[in-house]
C-alpha cells in the first residue's frame, strides 16, 4: 500500500478519521483486509503493516497504527541539501527524523515514556504520535487517533 508520510503528518491518513470514519468507508478506501483480530470492545483489521482499530458497537475507527517492520520502507523525502533524502524505515536516526519534521515545518513536541525512558514519543498536533526506541535507533510506529491521551 502506498503511504505518503508527509501527508499523514500534515492532514491524516487517506481521509480516514478516527472518531468519524466507519468500516464501510475504510473498506472502500483500502480494499479487502489481510487479517482480523477480535477483542471485548473493539476489533482490529490489518492491511500489511497498517492496523485499524474499530469500536465493536459503532464500527467507527478508534485508531490507526502504522508499524515499521524490517522490510517496511516508504519513499525518500527531501530534508536538506547536505542530507538529501530520508527514507522512512525501521532503522532511522532521531536526528534525521527531527530534521525532516523541521524542514517540512511540522510542529511537534517530544516526551519520554513515563514507564520506560528508552521510548521517545513525538507528538504532532493532538492526534498523531510517533513511537521511537532510542537504544536501537528504531522507528516503531505512527499512531493516529481522535485525540491522544
Q: What is the pLDDT of residue 34?
A: 96
Quickly count helices (H) and strands (E) in the chain: 3, 10
The domain locations on the chain are 5-66, 73-145
With a CB cutoff of 8 Å and minimum separation 6, the contacts of 67 are 49, 50, 51, 140, 141
Average pLDDT across the chain, whole number: 91
Asked whether 132 and 68 are in contact (CB, 8 A), the reply is no
Q: What is the pLDDT of residue 149?
A: 60
> Which tens digit of pLDDT belongs to each residue from 11-24?
888 889 999 999 99
> Which tens digit of pLDDT belongs to each residue from 95-133?
999 999 998 899 999 999 888 889 999 999 889 999 999
* Beta bridge mates, 50: 47, 66
Q: First-to-last CA distance in the chain? A: 28
- In this predicted model, which residue has the larger pLDDT, 146 or 143? 143
Amino acid at each position: 500500500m502506498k503511504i505518503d508520510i508527509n501527508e499523514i503528518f500534515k492532514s491524516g491518513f487517506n481521509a480516514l478519521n478516527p472518531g468519524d470514519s466507519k468500516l464501510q468507508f475504510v473498506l472502500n478506501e483500502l480494499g479487502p483486509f489481510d487479517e482480523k483480530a477480535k477483542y471485548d470492545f473493539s476489533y482490529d483489521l490489518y492491511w500489511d503493516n497498517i492496523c485499524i482499530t474499530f469500536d465493536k458497537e459503532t464500527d467507527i475507527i478508534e485508531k490507526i497504527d502504522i508499524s515499521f517492520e524490517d522490510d517496511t520502507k516508504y519513499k525518500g523525502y527531501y530534508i536538506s541539501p547536505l542530507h538529501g533524502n530520508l527514507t522512512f524505515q525501521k532503522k532511522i536516526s532521531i536526528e534525521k527524523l527531527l530534521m525532516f519534521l523541521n524542514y517540512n515545518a511540522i510542529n511537534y513536541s517530544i516526551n519520554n515514556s513515563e514507564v520506560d525512558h528508552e521510548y521517545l514519543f513525538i507528538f504532532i498536533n493532538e492526534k498523531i504520535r510517533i513511537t521511537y526506541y532510542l537504544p536501537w535507533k528504531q522507528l516503531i510506529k505512527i499512531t493516529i487517533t481522535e485525540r491522544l491521551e
